[in-house]
Amino acid sequence: MAKAGGGGAGMTGHERRAWLVVGSLFTTLFLVFGSGYNTAGVFFTPLLDHFGWTRAQLSLLQTTLALAAGLVVPLIGWLLDRLEARVVIVAGAACTGIGFLLASRADAFVPMVAAYALVGVGLGAATLLPVSLVVANWFGARRGLALGLAMGGTSAGGMVMTLVASRAIEHGGWRDGYLALALPIFVIVIPLVATTVRTRPAAGTGSTVAEAASALPGLGVSAALRVRSFWLIGLAQFSFA
């Protein structure tokens, strides 16, 4: 795993590869997470004007997205134990991009809900869970820094992709707005992840986080349920969701 070290000139090939992975994951969160979770508001008024849907119906679109993203997470965890992370991320990114394409062609409420559900599934597969796993496997002492840099794509992407969608809607309408979100996913994210991201370093370059964790003492389920910090963490996760 990548160690803490000096500047770029002193990095090993493995360390350079590890930071390349971080850059790819940042880009993924920037273009996938930023587009999926943060841009819904800019479509609200255009969809309201075009279809005449109620505000409750429009709110249901984002609710559907969030629900789909949450429900798919256990399946994504199961898949990450069995498949390369890049396969899961690429599949999730493709789902997100296809969802945006379908949204751009929707002509009724039900197809739009289905499109948002597909976007949500893609977000669950391509963003936070696999990114956290990959960074944990590639980094040791600088894991927190690497994860923080990768996760920075969520907020940066949210700001930029909201502006991109707004500009596309302003010049071409809401259908072009969805196309503007889909295109970078297919052109940038999928090829980048497929060529640069791996679940863990090649054999012999260091133990994975799972192997290192197996040597650490831990709590059983019954003991964990009696620990206050367990419930505080659970409450924080629930509040975020």
- Contact at 8 Å (CB) between 83 and 115? no
How many Å apart are CA 138 and CA 144, to the nearest integer?
A: 11
- Contact at 8 Å (CB) between 66 and 117? no
Quick one: angle between helices 40-51 and 143-172, nearest 10? 30
The length of the chain in residues reads 241
Find residue 2's DSSP bridge partners.
139
Q: Is 103 contained in some domain?
A: yes
Q: Please write the tens of the pLDDT for every residue from 89-112.
A: 999 999 999 999 999 999 999 999
Half-sphere exposure of 104 (CA within 13 A, CB side): 20
Mean pLDDT of the chain: 87
Q: What is the mean pLDDT of residues 70-75?
A: 93
Q: Is 63 contained in some domain?
A: yes
Q: Is 73 contained in some domain?
A: yes
Which of these ranges, 5-14, 75-84, 134-143, 198-207, has the smallest mean pLDDT?
5-14
pLDDT at residue 40 greater than cutoff 60: yes
What CATH code is carried by the domain that includes residue 43?
1.20.1250.20
How many Å apart are CA 158 and CA 29, to the nearest integer?
A: 9
Q: Is 165 contained in some domain?
A: yes
How many Å apart are CA 129 and CA 228, to the nearest integer?
A: 24
Find residue 139's DSSP bridge partners.
2
Phi, psi for 205 (deg, rounded to 5): -100, 0
Q: Which domain holds residue 105?
A: 13-204
Q: Is 3 contained in some domain?
A: no
Residue 102 CB contacts under 8 Å (≥ 6 apart), including other chains:
111, 114, 115, 118
Cα 232 from chain centre: 24
pLDDT level of residue 239 (50, 70, 90 thresholds)? low
How many domains would you assign to the chain?
Answer: 1
- Contact at 8 Å (CB) between 96 and 123? yes
Q: What is the mean pLDDT of residues 116-128?
A: 96
Burial 116-144 (b: 16+ CB within 10 A, else e): bbbbbbbbbbbbbbbbebbbbbbbbebbe
Residue 133 CB contacts under 8 Å (≥ 6 apart), including other chains:
80, 85, 199
pLDDT level of residue 220 (50, 70, 90 thresholds)? low
Q: Is 238 contained in some domain?
A: no
Q: Is 228 contained in some domain?
A: no
Q: Is 22 contained in some domain?
A: yes
The torsion angle over the Cα atoms of residues 29, 32, 37 and 40, rounded to 10 degrees, is 140
Instruction: Tell the burial category of 55 from Cβ atoms under 10 Å away from its Cβ (0-12, 13-18, 19+).
Output: exposed
